Amino acid sequence: MKFQVELPRLIETLSVVSRAAAGKGIRPILANLLVSACGGEVQFVGTDMEIMMISRLQAKIDNEGHFTVPAKLIHELVNSIAPGSEKEVISFEVQDQGEEANPNLLRLESGRNHFNIQIQGIDDYPPIPSLEGETFPRFDVDTAVLEKGIKEVAISMGTEEASASQRSICLNFAGNGEIILVATDSKRLAVTTIGKVTYPTEFNGVSLLPARTIPELTKLLDECEKVNVGLYHKQLIFTTPKFQLLSRLIDGKFPDYNRVVPKEHSRCLTVIRKEFAQAIRTVLPIARHSSQMVRLDIGPNEMRVWAESREEGLSEVFVPSRLDGDPINIAFNGAFLNDFLVVLDEDDVALEMTTPSYPGVMKGAKADSKFLYVVMPMSY
């Protein structure tokens, strides 16, 4: 087996595909990449059985073949080579025939760089879906819009201790040209809407995208203007010009988020987002010593943002604001507030409240704002 590919393109490919490979697990083969050379292309595949990343490179192939190679090792070795030019190539060779045959040894050469790497066969590697020529439901969506929606709701995803559905983003294909994105960790909930999207009826319903998929997907969305989204055997497939990301869907029931979002409020605070965010960051060093609690004393024209700890002391900031309704003293997890203020892309933020013990709703102050953030208060 022998082939050549352009080194700069290979470096880019390995930096993405290797992230899909498993770290430590019960199946050591999943720490490898599957490399297949056939028909003028070399395919690189990484998977941990939850996601799969596929990339194909144009190649000069002298002899076709396939093998698996440790993902971390080949990525580090290839990435250490400084490309001499955009067209510099790297050759792969496995001596699998003849008297000196050694099918378990891969030789890499690029300029004055030479590596011999132990490789394995493909027998134990998971099967790779053959998507070429397959017909399945799919549609295109602007990457900027999808990435913005994912980043907005991802702040509310649960951690490893949460249930599977809480460690996911819910994609609700409502069937009316909208995709509603939701995430919750039971202490807060984020919901946003992507509008004016045309997708096949097969998508209608709820799909739960696991947390493992989210960082890899957002990185892919940076490389192009549109991404193709497909539905294939209970998997979502995201295809860009250079990569293909397959993600399994969580088989579970997502909480009814419509019941969580308060339908009415008696008070509404409006404040400049940057000033609110700066105030939160100022008091967080103290708040960290008191369960992240940040207190808001909200009056008609000014808000006192403060935190206190018996061991560390007190920190407070006064922020100009506008309040519709009666004054209120309320407390929230400061880190939760900061998460929302960082991802919101509007100048002003609104905080709707009822009582100090009832959930608050944060959103952009514009009337057409689609991004809602429901956060539970703390005992003041």
In a domain, 134, yes or no: no
State whether 268 and 253 are in the same domain: no
Q: Choose one of 85, 118, 151: the last residue of a domain.
A: 118
State whether 222 and 317 are in the same domain: no
In a domain, 283, yes or no: yes
pLDDT of 86:
67
State whether 251 and 275 are in the same domain: no
State whether 306 and 317 are in the same domain: yes
- 3-state SS class at 271: strand
In angstroms, rounded to a whole number, what is the distance separating the alpha carbons of residues 74 and 115? 10
In a domain, 135, yes or no: no
State whether 152 and 248 are in the same domain: yes
- The DSSP bridge pattern shows strands 32-38 and 2-6 to be unpaired
**Which are the contacts of 45, defined by CB distance < 8 A and separation ≥ 6?**
17, 33, 34, 35, 36, 52, 53, 54, 128
- The DSSP bridge pattern shows strands 188-194 and 372-375 to be antiparallel
Looking at residue 149, the DSSP 8-state letter turns out to be: H
For 140, counting Cβ atoms within 10 Å of its Cβ (0-12 exposed, 13-18 middle, 19+ buried), the class is middle
> Residue type at 116?
N
Q: Choose one of 208, 228, 258: the last residue of a domain.
A: 258
Residue given tokens 């192009």 in the structure block: 224
CATH number at residue 8: 3.10.150.10
In a domain, 200, yes or no: yes
Give the structural domain span for 346.
261-375
Tokens of 133: 């020529």
State whether 251 and 276 are in the same domain: no
State whether 106 and 151 are in the same domain: no
State whether 147 and 253 are in the same domain: yes
State whether 296 and 321 are in the same domain: yes
State whether 200 and 108 are in the same domain: no
State whether 101 and 176 are in the same domain: no
State whether 335 and 365 are in the same domain: yes
Tens digits of pLDDT across the chain (380 residues)? 999 999 999 999 999 999 999 987 779 999 999 999 999 999 999 999 999 999 999 999 999 999 999 999 999 999 999 767 667 999 999 987 767 788 899 999 998 899 999 999 999 999 998 887 789 999 999 999 999 999 999 999 998 777 888 999 999 998 889 999 999 999 999 999 999 999 999 999 999 999 999 999 999 998 899 999 999 989 999 999 999 999 999 998 998 999 999 999 999 999 999 999 999 999 999 999 999 999 999 999 999 999 999 999 999 999 999 999 999 999 999 999 999 999 999 999 999 999 999 999 999 999 899 999 999 999 98
pLDDT of 87:
76
Q: Choose one of 258, 280, 310: the last residue of a domain.
A: 258
In a domain, 188, yes or no: yes
Is-contact 189 123, C-beta < 8 A?
Answer: no
In a domain, 301, yes or no: yes
In a domain, 366, yes or no: yes
Tokens of 52: 């799969």
In a domain, 242, yes or no: yes
**Could you give the number of structural domains in the chain?**
3
